[in-house]
Amino acid sequence: MLIRYKKSYKKIAMGLLSFMPNEKNLQRLQSTMKLYETAKDHQLFLWKENEGIVGLIGVLFVNEHLMQVQHITVNPSHRGQELGKKMIMNLKELNPDSLFIPHDNTRAFCVKYDINNSFNNRCSDTSA
Ligand SMILES: CC(C)(COP(=O)(O)OP(=O)(O)OC[C@H]1O[C@@H](n2cnc3c(N)ncnc32)[C@H](O)[C@@H]1OP(=O)(O)O)[C@@H](O)C(=O)NCCC(=O)NCCS
């Protein structure tokens, strides 16, 4: 189940974010978390299984109809169970009128799951 981030999940969210190759540095990780906690155009969602929070997807609302997937991570012990795919599918269901585009840091996985042509390559070079 996809849930919205709240501050009580900060520790687990930072742990999940740190699996992103570009979030290994602690200062960088802290500033990314701050962005998600403060910037209105950034939103963080967590994936909850029975055993707890095991996945994270972070997006930037580029505009009303364009969302960029900035971060996507799953706990190593839960990878390969289509949770990454489910997080994307759930977000798309919640935002049916939005076009989803990958960030450079999520492109490889996002392109792999371009199921409904939601990742439009023409838009993927946005500098947002
Ligand atoms: C990417 C990630 C979120 C996928 O989560 P997941 O729940 O295992 O994903 P799914 O089960 O839906 O899909 C698994 C598939 O994604 C592929 N995959 C895993 N990481 C990938 C990556 N970085 N780029 C492209 N494909 C990737 C797997 O090889 C697997 O492919 P297969 O089904 O053909 O065997 C997870 O591997 C992760 O947290 N990686 C570390 C963080 C990261 O690098 N995020 C950015 C990815 S571009």
Tell me the pLDDT of the chain averaged across its residues: 90
What pLDDT is attached to residue 127?
47
**Which residues have any ligand 1 atom within 6 Å of their CB?**
19-21, 72-74, 79-85, 106, 108-109, 112
Beta carbons within 8 Å of 100's beta carbon, 6+ residues apart? 67, 68, 69, 88, 91, 92, 110, 118, 119
What does the pLDDT read at residue 117?
A: 63
The ligand 1 atom at the shortest distance from the C-alpha of residue 110 is 48
Nearest in space to 126 (alpha carbons), one of 28, 73, 60: 60
pLDDT at residue 113, as a whole number: 79
Show pLDDT as tens, one digit a residue, over the chain (128 residues).
999 999 999 999 999 999 999 999 999 999 999 999 999 999 999 999 998 999 999 999 999 999 999 999 999 999 999 999 999 999 999 999 999 999 999 999 998 877 556 555 444 445 44
CATH class of the domain whose range is 2-123:
alpha beta
What pLDDT does 107 receive? Answer: 92
pTM here? Answer: 0.92
Rounded to whole angstroms, how far apart are CA atoms 100 and 62?
A: 10
Neighbours of 39 (CB within 10 A): 11
| Tokens linked to 115 | 């199921």
**Alpha-carbon gap, residue 84 to 52, rounded angstroms:** 16
How many angstroms is it from 81 CA to the middle of ligand 1? 10
Best of 48, 49, 79, 89 to mutate for ligand 1, by most ligand atoms within 8 A of CB?
A: 79
**pLDDT at position 37, please?**
97
